[in-house]
Structure 1
């Protein structure tokens, strides 16, 4: 937790990161709304704006990109997802 950051902001970052992980999972079958609500992000418009501010794309763009991409190799796909998540964790939780 950064100095001067409220516990609610930290919790929101954790929830956004968790949601991002779910959206990046190509085997995920739930909708963006279902994933967000499962992470207790119930105001979907606000969630979408916060997600876009944190990750540079809307949640629907993320899930569409992941679901339409055909992996060449499962290991490469997993390695790429892991690298993306590590970079995002460092950006969101310095």
Structure 2
């Protein structure tokens, strides 16, 4: 079983890693009195989707990317790589 490797930068190019926590929201439109949907809306926060992705900040030149099961971030911010540590 691979426990992952603690990394501080991209294992391919040395760039910074960007972790994206995905959230969802809704745009809520209200029906007007004339029976049509209004053009103004309010933004509703529907919360987290419980999905995180990570990639190298140098996405134009480096193809290092991590899907949900390929990394873990501890509450203290430590990044565990499960994807590229398998190459070692």
Q: TM-score, normalised by structure 2?
A: 0.28
Q: TM-score, normalised by structure 1?
A: 0.27
Quick check: which one's strand share is greater? Answer: 2
Quick check: which one's helix share is greater? Answer: 1
